[in-house]
Chain A
């Protein structure tokens, strides 16, 4: 127990406490002045920083895209595979291919796909008479373009989790409902979905946390542009910490992100509570 605690303390507790300490100092690596304690000045500056608020907005929109698009799509695909057990194995395996590609490769790959002049996507849209959108060059389309990439890359991961959840549902309860004459939609809404809630909760927590820290595709495709249209909190923190080496400010940003993520995770973890059925013995 003690070794495990020591490792946990070294990898989690100490960095957190150190980041807290740095966040209350004016620690700028490139300025030859010793860092001094400045209290909550970094935090106050963040709250009045328009770039922080715009990056938070971008982050939350990105997460909303993940939740509202990926969850129904993943559930639908998982149900499909569940109803075709013969094809489920090969189907899920093929579906997982995007997930195992390195994120930076995904970024470069989609940079080619989204290329305005030579990309295959615009070529196909042109053939269909649908014009040539500018995708990542458009302030309005850039963020949805990135959400689409995330959808393509990580929906299979959610499908896998939800499919596993479906496979582990108690067969006798479902069978009893069918024998009682319940329709499939009723079985799905009244029995399967509530039983699946813990798995959905876990899948959502994982995806929300992963989406929150999305960096690779932004770094490679848009560099946060056009303007700041795709600059999320993770990218903004990277710029402050690793381009400007403003470590105090970047640490304060990281602490604020930790708080936001903790609030989101707490709300979603509530979903993982097992359902109670009225009249259950």
Chain B
């Protein structure tokens, strides 16, 4: 029967079948690029997500993976992660977080052990700087994370001021010693006092707002020989060393801008980059910004050095695979790719993101380039910067990373901030903090925590670190 109801063209069965098969083939071939497997990466929102975006096409081309970023606020990241992972949520495949979460996360079973996945993609850990290799990414000899960002506190100072003949002569006259980059905290205070000429120039500044002010205390505490705990988990902070360190930090406020208690990471960057401060201790991504003309008024006028005596390593970032991820192999491949020697080098020196070096092969001046391969500093500045990192990591003081570390650290931050605010003396603050630490240790289990701490300290000794 020839039904001519429709005026349009008549299709044969063969034609329809052929067209259908063609569309199927086209869909399969054309969609192969679009069929990349999404890997959900949790990361704190902002600049630290950029490396994943920069590597998106490489990840798709090499492994058929596409990064699906899940941004969490920087403040509140721990709470959000614990809430999600406690409920065994599979919302994340790769977790990006600071190593001081690792003790809790590993103990609570939130993370997969990564060693069995090494055969999929060799992470090349031999190239890791020793301080990151065992103390940061391993627990009980097993690997639970890979590096993404190797934070370190570093001194940034104004070379134009330090090299000025008049300033040098005046400093020598006042203190009877040469004006030089300080290698002790006593000298740091002299330099800060000498250059404190408000409102045009402040001697120094530091992170004094609640959240991370503890790190600037620990930086001094470490330099004076302090230790987090002894072998029996008695706190080391409420000691003469601790009181002296916190007293120094409180005194440092005198040489800082008036809004010192408001100064956080971006503000600390800003007060140095705008030329209003002579010397600061800041995370080691500041030098990259110092030499970026779009961000800095002190291009060519800044020098970098390790912190006096010891450099604290607060925060950092590692990548781990969630224990509840439905595609752990893809998650591992993505994380492992991001930290390969030839991949990490593209972002650890880029001023747009906040990541810092963690491999030996990164510590050369010629490597200081942005993700497009363009040098981010002059050769001289790059050499100075890399030397400062190497010098700092030689005597690096790792951040506490045992079960309960977020609570120990948060309590310490509160009491350091109370001392900075003047509501408690340094001694009263640290004594109160030590009392709270004892409560945390008791709640966590004295023996369990002591064993975890001993294992963590042992990992430093294995890589030749002094602790």
Contact = CB atoms under 8 A, between A and B. Distances in A.
Contacts of A243: 78-79, 406-407, 410
A244 B261 contact: no
B262 A137 contact: yes
Interface size for chain A: under 10, 10 to 19, 20 to 34, or 35 or more residues?
Answer: 20 to 34
Interface on chain B toward A: helix, strand, loop, or mixed SS? helix
A227 B82 contact: no
Give the interface centre of A28, A31, A242 by most chain B CB atoms within 10 Å.
A31
Nearest to A116: B259
B104 A30 contact: yes
A226 interface: yes
B420 A227 contact: yes
A29 B261 contact: no
Given A33-B445, A243-B79, A226 B86 contact: no
Interface stretch (A60-68, A86-94, A182-190, A217-225): A217-225
Contacts of A245: 82
A98 to B, nearest CB: 23
Contacts of B419: 227
B191 interface: no
A109 interface: no
A192 interface: no
A117 B210 contact: no
A32 B107 contact: yes
A271 interface: no
A158 interface: no
A113 B262 CA distance: 14
A16 interface: no
B82 A228 contact: no
B414 A134 contact: no
Contacts of A135: 262
8 tightest A-B contacts by CB? A227-B421, A137-B262, A225-B210, A116-B259, A226-B421, A227-B418, A137-B261, A226-B261
Interface string B321-338: 000000000000000000
A242 B79 contact: yes
Nearest to B415: A227
B444 A134 contact: no
Nearest to A26: B443
B1 interface: no
Given A30-B108, A229-B421, A132 B258 contact: yes
Contacts of A117: 259
A201 interface: no
Residue from A138, A222, A226 whose CB has the most chain B CB atoms within 10 Å? A226
A103 interface: no
B131 interface: no
Given A31-B444, A31-B445, A243-B410, A225 B258 contact: no
